[in-house]
Structure formats: structure tokens, C-alpha cells
Structure 1
Amino acid sequence: MSNSLLEFFTAMDNQGGVIVKDAPKFDLDLYIQNYRGRTRFDRLLLIGQSSVALCVEALKAAVAEAKRGRDTHRYKEAVESLRQAAPSEPEARLDQAWLSTTELANENEKARLSVELKGYKNNLLKESIRMGHEDLAKFLESIGDLNMATESFSKMRPDISTLKQLIDVGRHLVRVAIQRREWGMISPHLAKMSLGGSFPEDEKVLQPYLRIATGIAFLGMEKYQEAASNFLSVDPTIPSSTYNEIASRNDVAIYGGLLALATMDRKELQAQVLDNSPFRVFLELEPHIRKAVTYFVNGRYSACIETLEAYRTDYLLDIYLQKHISTIYAKIRSKCIVQYLIPFSCVSLDTMNKAFGSPEEPIEEELAAMIQAGILDARINIIDRLVTTVRVDPRSKMQAEALESAERYERQAIDQLRRMGIVAADLELRGGKKMGVHSLSMVSDQGLGGDEMVS
């Protein structure tokens, strides 16, 4: 590694970035061809700022991608990163002529679109006003002014007259919200796009986009189970061109498979992943994900972990997974360890280390952390080097559940008797509560003395 590259990644590490030292398994050119739109630059820049092996190649591609657009801020960011990592590269120097020309053209285009929109508003042409807002919003998005783009896209809503226009506005707002990482705003935008089954053909075409965008939003909010359900239900018959501005078909397989492994048990994995015919179409693109799920379902937990670890580098270079991959992998690993111990009452630490540990990271500390977190119900015997699972006596468990049911029934019976007494005394319960006690009011003409009040 050159000195400049070392200094670049040292700086990125100090800023809290994720540094991936190993080379990924994917080919960068083939990988980026799966996407269109502004996500291409986002992915290239992330790879360039994270992958030691692909840094220069990805940053040069990011510079070229930026110059194909009109976002000068992105171009400057890519060039600056490349200048720090590889200052000798020709692309590491700013193209001042291109910058000046593009910035001037952007100013003129923004002024032209603003004047056109103002004219449409003066003439009260509803359809023209909608199109004027859309043209201006797309332009603002293209130059990286996402705040104003969101505002302009939102202004299209009052002038919508067809179902297609409603869907288009929703897609624009969702796309910008994903770029801004505003995960909480995606669901409201998607809800306004939902057709509710009234137009089945249009809904079928729109279904993958809705599911994938919802899944990405839940992933961003760390709601992994909800995200998995959405990715597992994507329709594979719809072309990827309808959603590849946010994700690819390979991404659907990876996100769905990993999140399912992290949140579902073996029966659910069998039913919702391996036996899910539509999702198997996506899994064919990422056979190692199918293999990992199969290993888990068949009880080959160490093989499942090894398969996933071989692709950790690739997933650390994904714009949506990078911040979550350590948590997702930890959940999968914990599940594997718990499932591994279920058939046994006692397992030696040496056996556990052979299956899940490594010379650098013995299993003992991980098991202790799982026990403290309540994930694993077991005890560790350091002297004899044994892990003993805590077994619950089925008879004692059944007796405890029976006693709890009896106590619950008794409480309900007393409550019913109390209510019957209140009704018999011609009293009623008001809805309001004060200090946890229901207030009572008379409904008969005869009053009650202090000694006659019902408690």
C-alpha cells in the first residue's frame, strides 16, 4: 500500500468510516451495471472510501460517473477523495473548464425552469403547473439539492389528475428520501402510492418497488424482521428496470436471505425462504445465500457461519448493509450457537471452540456475554471447561402454568362478581379514572348513605 493510500484510509478510519482490507468477490464493472441513476455514484464512492483493494478503481469510476451528470458537489467530493488516495492519477485534478461550464449551465437551467413555472402559475394551467414542478424538482435532484427537490416534488400533489401521476410523485419522493436516508418518511410516501387492490395490473407492476423500498426503510430503522418479510415477498416476474434505481435483483436475494437468517427459526426459514418459489428465483443469483440458509435448516451451523463469513467483505461495501452487517452477523451467530446447544445438556468448551471459535477469539467470552444478555440459558464451568445448559423440568413448568391460569381465572371471577354487585345496586361505572379508581354515580332516585357505598 502506498503512503498516500495509507494516509487516506487512516483519515477515513479516524472519521468513523468502515475500512475493508480484503478484496471483495464481485467485479466492480459488472456490479455497478446492475444499477441506474444516482445510486451508482453513491455505491462507487462508498466502495472507494471503504475498500483498500478497489479504492482507486472505484474513485476513478465515481469521478467519471459524476461528470456524466451535473452535480458539481459530487464531482468535487470524488476528486478530493481520489487526490488524497492517489494524487498521481490524472482524474485526481479538478477539471476547471468542466466545472465552470456545468455550474453556469446549472444556473441558467434553474432560472429557465423557474420562469416557466411562474408563467404556468400565472396562466392557471393545472397540468402545466404539475409538469413545471416536476421538471424543476428533477433538475434540483440532479444537481444534488435534495431539500428543494423534495419540496418541489411535494408541490405536484395538488395538481395530480391520474393514477399514474400519483404513482410517479410517490416514486420521486421515495427515491429522494432514500438518498437522504430519511427512513421514517418512506412509509408515508409509499402509503400514498398504494392502490389497495383497485387496479390489480398496475399494482402488480408496482409491487416490487413498494416491497423493496419498504424493506430498505425497515432495514435502515433496524426493524430486521419486517424488512425480511418485504424482501421475501418481492415478485420476481417484474423486470428489475422498475426498481434498479434503488436496488438490484441480487440485493433482494442478499437482503432477504441475511435478514431471514437473523430473525427466523428453522421452520420459518424452510417455509418462507427455501420453499418460497418466487424468492428462489432471486436466490439463484446468490447461491451462497441459499447454501447458508440450507446449512442452518439442516443443523450445520458452523458451515452456515463459514459461508457467510466468506462474503462479509462484499456486504460491508453495500450502502444499505454496511452499518448493520456486524449486528446481523452477530444475531445469526448467536442463533447458531443456541441451536447447536439445544440437543445437549453438556458440551465441552473445546468442542465449542472447534465449531465456533478461533485461536484469536476463544468462545468463552462470547458465551458469557450471551448468558448475561439472556440469549443463552446455560452455565460455564471454567475448571472442567464445560458448558451446561439449564434444563426446565416439564412437570414443574406445567404446574407453574396451571397455577398462573388458576390465579388469572380467580381474578377475572372476582372482577365479574364485583361488577354484578354494582349493577344490582343500580350503580354505573363511568369511563374516566382518577388515581386508578372508577368513579360511581347514582342512577336511581333513592340515595345511598355513607355506610351503604359499594367499595
Structure 2
Amino acid sequence: MSLVYSQFLETGAELGNNYTEVIAPQDVATYGGLCALASFDRTELKASIEFIDNLNFRNFLELVPEVRELIHDFYSSHYASCLDYLGNLKTNLLLDIHLHDHVEMLYNQIRHKALIQYTHPFVSVDLRMMANAFKTSVAGLEKELEALITDNQIQARIDSHNKILYARHADQRNATFQRVLQTGNEFDRDVRAMLLRANLLKHEYNLRASRKP
């Protein structure tokens, strides 16, 4: 899909209205923008935004400001606003002759990318706050996250009782800390035992020396 997006991105302004029976200029922005959000990670998207802001694709985006704004909202982690734009576009996209069969798949991938990106920087996430950010219920969010965790797209575990998502790297860090602490305790015990033996040997040596005639 990223290859498809690249093709849209490289489309020149000379397209104009020359091929409206096949694709309109505003469709280039819509198709390219949605494919970018569905397929690129944050780094790739940042590079694409820099490219968009400087080359021909920006001219197409100006024709569909909603797509331009939702791309920037997604990159800026303004997910509620991004999802609002997507929701407003969906009815027309479902009627699009080229895109209608792919809308649900694109929207699902974009939402999954947003969920993954939201959780990535945190050690723990309050599911209530996250559900509010994505305008969904906590129960619905849990199901979405469970599917992404099962699919190994999010490295985390869910505390359903406290409604907290914990990153697995936090668990690993805690496990590492516990192992280091245990090793330190064992080392301390061994050193104390060694000093005790040394003191006993020293005491025994001194005792023997004091008994010599």
C-alpha cells in the first residue's frame, strides 16, 4: 500500500482536469492521504508530511482540506479530531467508484495505527482516558486492544479490573530490576558469610596463638 501512496505522491500538477473521467485531482489527495495513514509508521509519515509540504502533492491536498488536516492531526496525535474528519468523509467515500470496496479496510488500518501510536510512548495507559480520546466505550476499546495484542502489534497486557494497559517492556524492566536486586542480595549474603568465616579463622588463629607456651 505504501507503493500505491508513493505513486499518488509523485503525481504532478499537470494532471489537472485532463483525466477526470478516471480520477479527479481531489481524489489523488484523498486516496494518497488515506493510503499513507493506513500503511506508514510515524517516521515514514513524518518524511511524507515534509515531502507533502514542499512538492506537488500539496496542491492536491489544498483541494481537500479535510484530508490535509486529518493527516496532520494523526501525526500530531490529535486522534479525536482525526477520527472526526474520517467520519465526515466516510459517507462520500463509500459512494466512490474506486474506493468504496476498500473504505472499511482502510479505516480499520488507520484506527489500528492510531491505537498503536497512542500506546507506544507510555509505560501504562488509563483505558478510560484512552477510550475518551477515541470516542468509544472502555469495553469496546479493550476488545480492540486485545485483538492487537493477540496479533502482536501492541506489546502490552491489560489489567481489566483497574482498566490499565501496561507495556510489556515495563514488565521486563521490573523483572530485570528484581533480578539485579536478587543478585545484589545474594552477593551481600556471600560477602557477609565470607567475612564471618574470615573473622572466625582470625579468632581461631589468635586463640591458638594465645595458648602457645
TM-score, normalisation: structure 2:
0.74
Contact in 2 for aligned 1:371/1:377 (Cα 8 Å): yes
Match of 1:240 in 2: 17
**d(CA) in 2 for partners of 1:239 and 1:311?**
22
Within the candidate set 50, 60, 64, 1:282 is matched to 60
Q: Which runs of 5+ in 2 are unaligned?
A: 177-213
- Partner residue, 1:272: 48
Aligned length: 170
Letter aligned with residue 82 of structure 2: C
The 5 A counterparts of 1:31-50 are none
- TM-score using structure 1 length: 0.36
**Is 1:388 the equivalent of 2:166?**
yes
Provide Cα deviations, 1:390-415, integer angstroms capped at 9, x if missing partner. 1165xx9xxxxxxxxxxxxxxxxxxx
Residue equivalent to 1:445: none
Q: Flag as ranges the 4+ runs of structure 1 deviating above 4 A.
A: none
Q: 1:276 to 1:361 in 2, by over 3 A?
A: farther
Separation in structure 1 between the aligned mates of residue 106 and residue 75 of structure 2, nearest angstrom: 18
- The answer to whether residue 61 in structure 2 is matched with residue 313 in structure 1 is no
Match of 1:231 in 2: 8
Q: Which amino acid aligns with 1:270?
A: K
Judging changes above 3 Å, is the alpha-carbon distance between structure 1 residues 289 and 368 closer, same or farther for their aligned structure 2 residues? same
1:255 corresponds, among 20, 31, 34, to 31
Q: Could you tell me which residue of structure 2 aligns to residue 363 of structure 1?
A: 141
Is the Cα contact below 8 Å between 2:70 and 2:86 reproduced in 1?
Answer: yes
2:119 is the counterpart of 1:344: no
CA deviation after TM superposition for structure 1 residue 361, in Å = 6.9
RMSD of aligned alpha carbons: 1.9
Post-superposition offset of 1:370: 1.0
Identity of aligned residues (%): 36
* SS of match in other structure, 2:96: coil
Shift of 1:353: 1.1
Q: Find 1:324's aligned residue among 102, 117, 127.
A: 102
User: Higher relative contact order by CA 8 Å / sep ≥ 6: 1 or 2?
Assistant: 2
Letter in 1 for 2:30: I
Contact 1:266–1:296 (Cα < 8 Å) also in 2: no
Q: What do residues 198-239 of structure 1 show as CA deviations (whole Å, max 9, x unaligned)?
A: xxxxxxxxxxxxxxxxxxxxxxxxxx2221111111001343
Offset at 1:254? Answer: 0.4
Q: Give the counterpart letter for 2:16 in structure 1.
A: P
Deviation at 1:266, TM superposition (A): 2.8
CA distance in 2, matches of 1:341, 1:359: 17
Partner in structure 2 of residue 372 of structure 1: 150
* One-letter amino acid of the counterpart of residue 93, structure 2: Y
For residue 56 of structure 2, give the secondary structure of its aligned residue in structure 1. helix
Confirm whether residue 302 of structure 1 aligns to residue 75 of structure 2. no
Q: Secondary structure at the match of 2:13?
A: coil
Give the AA of the match of 1:252. Answer: V
Structure 1 position 252, deviation (Å): 0.4
Distance in 1 (CA, whole Å) between partners of 2:7 and 2:139 is 35
